[in-house]
Structure 1
Amino acid sequence: MSKNLKIPKKDRHKFSQPLGRLISGAREETIPKIESIIKEFSQNYSRVQIYLVGDIVSKDFLENSYLKSFIRLCVVDEKTQRSKIKLGFDTFFDEIIEFKNPSGTISSDSFDVLEQIVKSNRKTLLKITEGEEDLLVLPLVVLLPLNKACKILVFYGQPPITDSKQPIPEGIVMVEVNKRIQKLVNRFISMMKQE
């Protein structure tokens, strides 16, 4: 892909809907719920892999010793609501990659970078040094390989949305990566315009 992708204004509302299961609540409420879910998955699958997009969700998972053990990737921009944030877990990762992804876009290079990270199977921190990480959840979901023995999960933070027909509470979205969700995400990507 040679051009950056942007969401058309007329379709913005479609992209604000959670891609998976919304675990609603404040941070201190959602993490214990997620821990229980992961424990259940761990009993039913030989492996569980967690991929995180967003600073707060990454920080919360890294601070939880149980959840931390399943993390494969954190995608962050070191900002939250326009304030600086530092994860402080650089030594946890096998690799730290810095990358530019313009705000409100999926950079043309992001597919290649994410594919290399996924194939490397190394614990990776992808730092967006310019722009933001929000939309990178889309190419990540599409690029993750499916494996019946492994439960692959992508988590990202959901801010509260009050200006839509159906308000969405704050929380964490859990995307169980499977063929159905990959088809849906591919549809979203095809709706985006090239710039």
Structure 2
Amino acid sequence: MKLPNALREQMKNPLGLLLPENQTDKENILKHLNENTYLITVGDRTTEKMIKYDLIPSLQIVDGIEKREKREPPKLANATEITVDNPASEITSQSIDLIKKAFSMESPVRILVNGEEDLLVLPVCVYAPKNSVVMYGQPNEGLVIVKITSEIRNKAQSLLDLME
């Protein structure tokens, strides 16, 4: 599925709460989690930040690129790592299948994307287990925190349905 140009602007709107960059410390992030939260991160910097705060995401989706610059993926021992191809501005059916599979695997699971991971936030929001919180970076603005509700699932699914 490809992202049509008409949807590009809409995708820049955060799906959840935008925590400004200067407030993305562990204390503020913990306010949005409970002890049973299934934490999902999409993006290298977001994943790295959570690991640094010792908030190990159950599912991490990274691509080794930040703001179009190649970088080392965040370090984490004991994660099951699986790789998928997902070109920029697309969501492949393989990516969706792998995300669904990852939710049934023992965490932490890291999906290493060859290509771009940004849009994978949508299928993650559709298929995430109950009690999930998805976090991803909003470039130059801060951290988006999405608590998975049926409303969020529906919104993410309608965005997916608009893709070609």
Q: Deviations over 1:31-50 (max 9, x none)?
A: 23113333xx33xxxx1110
1:145 aligns to what SS in structure 2?
coil
Dislocated runs of 4+, deviation >3 Å: none
Aligned counterpart, 1:145: 129
Show structure 2 runs of 5+ residues with no match. none
2:58 to 72, 77, 100: 72
Does structure 1 residue 122 correspond to structure 2 residue 107? Answer: yes
Q: Deviations over 1:46-78 (max 9, x none)?
A: x1110000000000001112x22xx20110000
Contact 2:16–2:147 under 8 Å retained in 1: yes
Aligned counterpart, 1:157: 137
1:9 to 5, 15, 23: 5
Show structure 1 runs of 5+ residues with no match. 161-169
Shift of 1:88: 4.5
Contact 2:44–2:74 under 8 Å retained in 1: no
1:51 aligns to what SS in structure 2?
strand
1:24 to 9, 20, 26: 20
Q: List aligned pairs for 1:103-122, cutoff 5 A.
A: 103-122=88-107
Q: Deviations over 1:147-180 (max 9, x none)?
A: xxxx3100000014xxxxxxxxx00101100111
Contact 2:89–2:116 under 8 Å retained in 1: yes
TM-score if structure 1 supplies the norm length? 0.79
Q: Which amino acid aligns with 1:83?
A: E
2:9 aligns to what SS in structure 1?
helix
Q: Distance in 2 between matches of 1:30 and 1:113?
A: 29
Q: Supply the RMSD in Å over aligned alpha carbons.
A: 1.4
Report the structure number with the largest CA radius of gyration: 1
Aligned counterpart, 1:83: 69
1:106 aligns to what SS in structure 2?
coil
Shift of 1:134: 0.3
Aligned counterpart, 2:39: 50
1:6 aligns to what SS in structure 2?
coil
Q: Count how many residue pairs are aligned between Structure 1 and Structure 2.
A: 163
1:11 aligns to what SS in structure 2?
helix
Q: Distance in 2 between matches of 1:106 and 1:19?
A: 17
TM-score if structure 2 supplies the norm length? 0.93
Shift of 1:107: 1.0
Q: Distance in 2 between matches of 1:8 and 1:185?
A: 15
